[in-house]
Structure 1
Amino acid sequence: MTQDEDAARLGLRERKKRETRVALSQATIRLCVQRGWDDVTVEDIAAAANVSVRTFRNYFSGKAEAIAASHLERMRRVADELRARPADEPLWESVAHAVEGQFAPKAGPGQGSSEDRRRWTDGVRLMLAEPALHGEIVKANAAAQEELARAVGERTGTDVARDVYPKLVAAVVGAGSAVAVEHSLSADPPVSLAAVLRETFDGIVAGLPAP
């Protein structure tokens, strides 16, 4: 086997592992939103993802870590999208496109009727309030910011180890996205996450002037 073939094989293996992590994380979120935290077991999740309980345990220690992994994966996709945006596009325009594309897709859970959206939103709100999830979310946020900071550094020619700029941008993106999600979940009357994300990043680009 040549070096290129070996690298391709390793790349395929890592891609398969990433796909399994995503499938398990999404199954955990879907079941916890639909049934409630206490009514979902690891066995339920493994069955929904069509894997064994042992496979689940190979990836995650429990439901909380599996759910938090979805946020990290989403921020990795934001970083990938940021790297793929046109090189001459302003940084914050690229960031806004990348974040909106991953945080507010046009299709997915909770995108059906108004009643479906309300039930999904209520379920997500209850899930995120689960105390067992908080520590894992903090760890996922830290890893996500590191990933995004590297992408910002590559795009701007800054060094994550030496310069504060890429880490600052990543922290602002993380905080802005979290605020937008929380506001969208709690707004009454409901407001779309895409609209809140646009308002959030427009405000950041403008320097957050007083309203």
Structure 2
Amino acid sequence: MTLDPVAPLGLRERKKRAARRAMSEAALKLAMEKGVEQVRVEDIAGAVGVSPRTFNNYFSSKEEAICSFIVERQERLREALRDRPPEEPLWEAVSTATLETYGSSGEPDRDSVTLARSMILHPSVHGEFLKAHARVEQVLADAILERAGAGAENALNARLMAAIVESAVKTAFFNWLVNEGAEPFLETIAVLLREASAGVPSLTRPEPAKKPKKK
């Protein structure tokens, strides 16, 4: 059963999301503290008081759980985009929602650069990291299309716009990693989104179908 993307979440879905978020945060914290190799599914499950079986109902691996924060953040971005004023130009709304979402957690801690690099670039985690970004790109594309209005051309351009945003975020993140945190992550995203604005595709809200005149 597919949930209506506009409908408010029910209690059951909110509880599932909260459980998933708790396990993801525990996995990320343990990986940062102990190293990916030393973290077991049992450790993550125990940290949040659930069984390994429950963990496996949400995640296929510890690596997926570690990278789940990317998907979680994109869910917040979708909600932030829905909250933008309806009259606001689409790219402005998307850019503002992106900066608000990533800015809500503040600038990443420079002291954690080395740990973050060793974790994200770990072979098993890096693959999940890229897969997570591919999944959230579709989430954002759906949110953009929801705002712009359905239509074949809009669907294609919504995916392109989402790819531009995700590319800006990934570029800013890896720039932050490579430069030991010297280049501000949030500021870099803002710069990249401004630079990208010139090449952003246009999406138009479809005209409502005209009702046939009564004879």
Give the TM-score band, short-chain normalised. Answer: 0.7 to 0.9
Tell me the SS of whatever aligns to 2:10. helix
Distance 1:144 1:68, change over 3 A: same
* Distance in 2 separating the partners of 1:141 and 1:76: 12
Alignment of 1:40-119 (within 5 A): 40-107=39-106, 110=108, 117-119=109-111
Q: How many residues align?
A: 194
Share of identical aligned residues, percent? 38
TM-score normalised by structure 2 residue count: 0.80
Cα deviation code 1:77-124 (max 9, x no counterpart):
11121111111222222222222222233458x5xxxxxx33322211
Which residue is 1:38 aligned to? 37
Q: Kindly state the Cα deviation for residue 191 of structure 1 after the two structures are TM-superposed.
A: 2.3
Letter in 1 for 2:51: S
Unaligned stretches of 5+ residues in structure 2: 1-6, 201-215
Contact 2:176–2:185 (CA under 8 A) maintained in structure 1? yes
* Distance in 1 separating the partners of 2:144 and 2:92: 13
1:183 equivalent among 175, 187, 191? 175
Q: Kindly state the Cα deviation for residue 189 of structure 1 after the two structures are TM-superposed.
A: 6.3
Q: Kindly state the Cα deviation for residue 160 of structure 1 after the two structures are TM-superposed.
A: 6.2
Contact 1:158–1:166 (CA under 8 A) maintained in structure 2? no
* Distance in 2 separating the partners of 1:27 and 1:185: 22
Q: Kindly state the Cα deviation for residue 140 of structure 1 after the two structures are TM-superposed.
A: 2.1
Cα deviation code 1:123-166 (max 9, x no counterpart):
11111001112332333223212211111112112436873111
Tell me the SS of whatever aligns to 2:130. helix
2:149 equivalent among 157, 164, 184? 157
TM-score normalised by structure 1 residue count: 0.81
Matched, 1:171 2:163: yes
* Distance in 1 separating the partners of 2:38 and 2:155: 46
Cα deviation code 1:157-194 (max 9, x no counterpart):
24368731111111111111111111122225612211
Letter in 1 for 2:191: E
Unaligned stretches of 5+ residues in structure 1: 1-6, 111-116
